[in-house]
Structure 1
Amino acid sequence: MTVEQIIAALALEPLPVEGGLFAVTHADEHGSAIHFLVRAPDFSALHLLTAAETYHHYAGAPLRLVLLHPDGTVTRPVLGTDLAAGQRPQIRVPGGVWQGSASAGEWTLVGTTMAPPYDPDGVRFAGQSELTARWPAAADDIAALTRS
Structure 2
Amino acid sequence: MHSQPNAQELINALELEEHVEGGYYRRTFQSDRHPMVETERGQRYLMTSIYYLLTRDSPIGYFHFNQSDIVHYYHLGDAIQYNLISPDGTLKTVVMGSDVVAGQLLQLHVPGGVWKASQIIDGPVGYGLISEAVSPGFDYADMEMSDRQKLTVQFPEHAELIEKMTQG
1:63 aligns with 80
Output the aligned Cα RMSD: 1.2
1:39 to 55, 62, 74: 55
Match for residue 119 of structure 1?
139
For 1:125-145, what per-residue CA distance to the aligned partner results, in whole angstroms no more than 9, with x for missing partners?
Answer: 122121122222322221111
- Distance in 2 between residues matched to 1:107 and 1:81, nearest whole Å: 13
Shift of 1:94: 0.3
1:111, 1:35 → 2: CA distance?
4
Deviation string 1:65-108 (CA, Å, 9 cap, x unpaired) is 11010111001111112122221100000000000101012211
Equivalenced residue count is 147
TM-score (norm 1): 0.93
Q: Normalising by the residue count of structure 2, what TM-score does the alignment of the two structures yield?
A: 0.83
Could you list the structure 1 runs, at least 4 aligned residues long, displaced by more than 6 angstroms after superposition.
none
Alignment of 1:36-115 (within 5 A): 36-42=52-58, 43-105=60-122, 106-115=126-135
Show the counterpart of 1:30. 46
Q: Report what 1:134 is aligned to.
A: 154
Ranges in structure 1 where 5+ consecutive residues have no aligned partner: none
* Max Rg structure: 2
Gaps of at least 5 residues in structure 2 are: 32-44
Secondary structure in 1 aligned to 2:160? helix
